[in-house]
Each structure stands twice: as C-alpha cells, then as structure tokens.
Amino acid sequence: MSASPSLDIDTLCINTIRTLSMDAVQAANSGHPGTPMALAPVAYALWQRHLRFDPQDPIWPNRDRFVLSAGHASMLLYSLLHLYGVRAVNAQYEQLGHPSVSLDDIKHFRQLDSRCPGHPEYRWTSGVECTTGPLGQGVATSVGMAIASRWLAARYNRPGFELFNYNVFALAGDGCMMEGISSEAASLAGHLKLSNLCWLYDNNQITIDGNTSLAFSEDVGARFRAYGWQVVHVTDANDLGQLDQALGTFLRTAQNPADRPTLIIVDSHIAWGAPNKQDTAHAHGEPLGDEEIRLTKRNYGWPEDAKFLVPDGVREHMAAGLAERGTGARAAWMALFEKYRAEHPELADQVYRMQHRQLPEGWDHDIPVFPADKKGMAGRDASGKVLNALAKRVPWLLGGSADLARSTKTTLTFEGAGDFQAGNRGGRNLHFGVREHAMGAVLNGLSLSKLRPYGSGFLIFSDYARPAIRLSAIMEIPTLHIFTHDSIGVGEDGPTHQPIEHLASLRAIPHLFTIRPADANEVAEAWRLIMRLRHEPVALVLSRQALPTLDRSRYAAASGLLRGGYVLADAREHDPARFKDRGLQLILIGSGSEVALAIEVYERLLADGICARVVSLPCFELFEHQSAEYKESVLPATVTARIAIEQASAFGWARYIGADGLSISMKTFGASAPLKELQKHFGFTPDAVFHTAKRLLG
C-alpha cells in the first residue's frame, strides 16, 4: 500500500512522520498527536538538511544535539529516530546494532517496555539527548550543552584540529516559553553569547486550557531580543524554504563564537480532517479518533485505512540526507581524532576518559587528610579544599554557584582556573547568577555532555532546583549539587533560610545520593565517592558552622562513609574490660553536625556505665544499597533503644529508630537567633540529649 503518487518526496516524508504519530497515539488511546503533526515539517527540515548527526553512532562526541523540550510531542522524535534508522547504544558505549526505535516500538507507544514512552527518556531510547517532560527543562538543559561545546572547543581544539564545534537545537512550545526556568536560561545564554544555540519556538498559540490569549500575550520576540538573542520569524511551519533560510541564518551566526543565540519563531496551527476543526484536547491530550484520522489521511493523499504505513522510498530518501551527511562528518572526525592522538596524546587521553566517564591516573592523590581538631572547620570549608585538590587533577571538573560561591566555597582558586565568560570559553568557574532553577538544568546539560559539573547554593534553595535534580536522577547522570547552610545553624537569618524539610525531600528522590558528612574527613570521603560515580547524581549537604574534626585514632575511619552508614564509636571497643561482655543498650544515630553532638553524649554515657554506640549515617540511599548482613551489624534489630539526632524534620528516620526509638529533630520551622541560643531552644545540646537517653533507658 502506498500514498498518492502525486506527492513530492519531501511531503511524503513529512506526512509519514505525521501519520506514524497519529496512528501511535490512536493505538495507545493516549498521547498528544497535534504538535507532532504540526511540527513535522520543522523537524524534517532540520534533520534532513542541516543536523550533523550519524544514525549509526548516535553518541559520537561532535554530533549536533537535538532536544525536544516540548516532550509531550514525543512521537515526533520517535518517528524521526525510526525513519532515520538510528541504532541503539548501550550504557557501556558499545554499538548494539538493532534499531533504537522499531516499528513495533511505535505500535506499542506508551506501553510497558516500549522504547517509546510517553515522554522522551535519556538512556532508555538511543538518540534521545535529554529526558524531557516538565516544560522548560529541555530548553534550559540545552544551554548547558551549548556551554559544554564552547568549553570543549576552548580546552581541546588546536590549530588544524577543530575537534569540537557542535551546535545545539531545542524545539519548544508555548508552555516552555511561559515557564520561568526558560527565562532564566535564555537570559544566561544571551549573556554568555552562546551563538551555537538555537531554539525553535512552535508559536501555535494553543495550550491545554485553550488559546494562549487566556494567559499569555507578551511579545516573545521582543523579550528575547532584550536577552541578547537573534530572533528570526518563519510565518508558515509548512514552508520548507522559509525554514531552510531561518536555519541557514542560525548556522552562519554559529560560526562566530562572539555572536548570539538564535530564536526561530515558527507560526503553526493545529488543523486537520474536518473543516474548520481545531481542538485543543486533540492537540495536547487525546487521540483524534478513527473518523478524524480517516479524514486527515484523505487530506494528506494517504490511504485512509492504512496504519503505520511507511511508503516506499521514504527511508531511502531520508537516509540520503541525514545519514550520508552525518556518517561522513563522523568518519572525518574519527580520522581527525587519530591524528590528534598522535600529536596531542595527553589531551586525547583526557577526551577519551571524559567521554567514557573515566578518571585520570592519580586523580585522588591530593585529597587532604584533616588532623583531629576540637574546633574543626565548616563542612563547606573542607569541601572547598578537597574540590580544589581534585579539580587540579581532573581538568573537566568545573562548576559554580547561583551567586553564592563565596558562601558555598566552590570557587576554583588555583592558577589558570578562570571564569567562563563570553570572552573566556576555557574558564572553569561558572557564574549562574541568581538562577537556581536554570542552574540545575544547565548542570544536567553539562553532565550529558560528559563533563563533571557541580552547582551550589544554600540548602533552603534546593526547592528551586528540585525539578532538575529529579531529572538528573531519572537520567542516571552524575550531576553534583552542593548545598551549604544545611540547618538551623544558619542562625540569625531565621526560618526563611533555615532548611527543615529539605533533607527528607531530597532523600525521597530515588537514585539520588543525599550525603551529609559529619566532619572534614567525611567530606573528603564523600568527594572520593562522588568522583567515582558514573550514573548517580549527588546532593552534598554541608554546614556553614565549624564542626569538630573527629579523632580517628579513637573513632572509626571516615571511609565508613563509602557504605552510607557505619559504626563510628562503640563502648565495647573503647572499654572492653568494662563492656566486652555487656549487651548493647543504646544506639545514637546522626548525620552532619549532629554526629559530634552524639559523640559528646556517648562519652558521657560511657562514663555513666551505659553500653552505647554511635552510628554516623550520612547517606540513607547508599546505606540501603548495602547487604542485609552489613546493615544488621550496624543497627542490630535486638537493640530497640535508639535515638536519631538531626536538626531537620524527623520524616524518614522511622525506618532506623523503629517503633521504640526517639527522634530529636525539628517539629516546627526555625527562628532568628544566634546558633547557641537556637540549639538550646530546640533541644540540641549535650544535656538535653543525655537526659533524653536516660529517660529512654528508664
């Protein structure tokens, strides 16, 4: 069965994308058919004529990136991946050979185990560059990808060896333009003059509630010009000539690194089949229905009853566009890299290791060991020292803060680190400005580009970054989120800046390691763990106030952190003559700054003849990865007298203290006062905890 022979080959390919999309949504009885249908010409013009991408190797380092920020239009991307014959790649970077998206996957759109889930998912479907769904996240992530391209070029390109010059495209809708994260990201991209970045904005003036005039009437083009973007207007999404001209304008701009990013506004409308029918439910959340599909296919010159039809010649024509161009570009790059390896072996080794998420030899040789010190240092200060030691040996470790680097101690201070700016693409200190929402997404874009990025802020503002943190966990990428000012220890700043529920909130995210170290040496071990991770994002939670550096000759080694939780102190080890044959009576459990408090109480309990233990539990998620035998050795079930101490919500501690245990925690928001007054007021003093322990023991 074939389409009308009167259709030219471009129209035939575009309508194949459209009909695959509508058939898949109809078969699933779920999804969004309108946007894929309207944007099929836009995506086709980009992929067929301009995108530098090799379907046989969808992860080669210098490929152009395409991000579908309007993730509800996922069938548009799945149709492209199928028709262009993109091959699957596994997590070990080995070519598997089979199609990334088969026709059977499309037929099972939104069904269990299909490579075509409801929204695009990175690591699940090869050719998907970024997990999208929450609107605005995709375009914000694309800014990180564009930064990475410029940074890689500055770091590794040499005369005669232009290894990195890829461009980044993101397809966005009205919803993306409304979300605040997009504005933050666009402002940053304009400031940095990321001329290799192009957003294609589907200006169809339709959202789920109806016409955008209900809530959105600004001049988007004027807004982006104010951000420092070039704005190009395509008045008809079906006009391939206009689309080619607009994309050509961007590509000429991209050749000048000092130019500006480009927004292409594409006017489209969702209309099909029945005369004058425009239905926002079909556009965004419902299948068309069999009758509407027949009418639409009739208008396309398509066999009305054909389903999942790919006419003869479509795959061949599409392969002659993207595939031939992309295969040639990749082959040339690989040959160039072999010459580069011969002339610049050290840099080539770095590129290889980075792309495979490997670490340089000797990466951990300079991690400091901190001597015991009752006064100690703040977690943020210890982290800053470790970070700088690591960054000297791992050249692709880079990052910054949301305007708080001096407070979070995340500035790279060694010679040559520099600031990433429009005039210095090789700088390793990133300045995100007061843009926590966008910072998290930009970090994900950098991580997806195989750099090792970190971003930082106060723990209270993790709420602003949470959507991007969650997506980093879904994508299984090792993005690092550093949070300081981790408790009521913030003091006089008061409850607006004192995190209470935030630890519990982060710990609730699956596959995210939330680590709250107890002292400087636990901070060092946390970084040792973080740098080895390849698929797990981390929230590293650090104190503002000084924490005693524990005497590890008396207490257990800080390397216990690598298992998430460990026995830090045990009476039977410290005074075997007195406690060797005694049963364990009480376990004190804490994280972060409260571990030192637990140790102080523990020493008093020992003096009082009580056989106690202290468990440092800096990372719940990592502890849960341990064997049942190990967890039992740390928290034996027979010991039911347990006290958890944490200057935060008690939520989540029940699994470790059990029905008979107690939690010394925050039951309310904090207050504005000096730290010592707050600790006394909320019960975080040695006396208060000691007496609570005695009461629990009866």
- Active-site annotation, residues: 436
The answer to whether the beta carbons of residues 633 and 619 sit under 8 Å apart is no
Identify the three-state secondary structure at position 456.
Answer: strand
Q: Which structure tokens are listed for 612?
A: 């106690």
Nearest one of 321, 248, 319, 326 to 49, comparing CA atoms: 321
Secondary structure E strands in 485-564: 513-515, 538-541, 546-549
The residues, any chain, with a CB within 8 Å of residue 500's CB and separated by 6 or more, are: 488, 648, 649, 666, 668, 669, 670
Q: Which structure tokens are listed for 48?
A: 């067929």
Amino acid at 306: A
**d(Cα 230, Cα 254) in Å, to the nearest integer?**
11
Identify the three-state secondary structure at position 263.
Answer: strand
The answer to whether the beta carbons of residues 485 and 458 sit under 8 Å apart is yes
**d(Cα 550, Cα 555) in Å, to the nearest integer?**
7
**d(Cα 357, Cα 528) in Å, to the nearest integer?**
15
Q: Which structure tokens are listed for 686?
A: 């040695």
Q: Which structure tokens are listed for 282?
A: 């079909």
**10 Å Cβ neighbour count for 397?**
20
Helices 594-607 and 686-697: crossing angle in degrees, nearest 10, is 60
DSSP code string of 315-379: HHHHIIIIIHHHHHHHHHHHHHHHHHHHH-HHHHHHHHHHHTT---TTTTTT---PPPEEEEEEH
- Rama region for 127: left / alpha / beta (φ>0; ψ in -120 to 50; rest): left
Round to the nearest angstrom and report the end-to-end CA distance of the chain. Answer: 83
The answer to whether the beta carbons of residues 239 and 167 sit under 8 Å apart is no
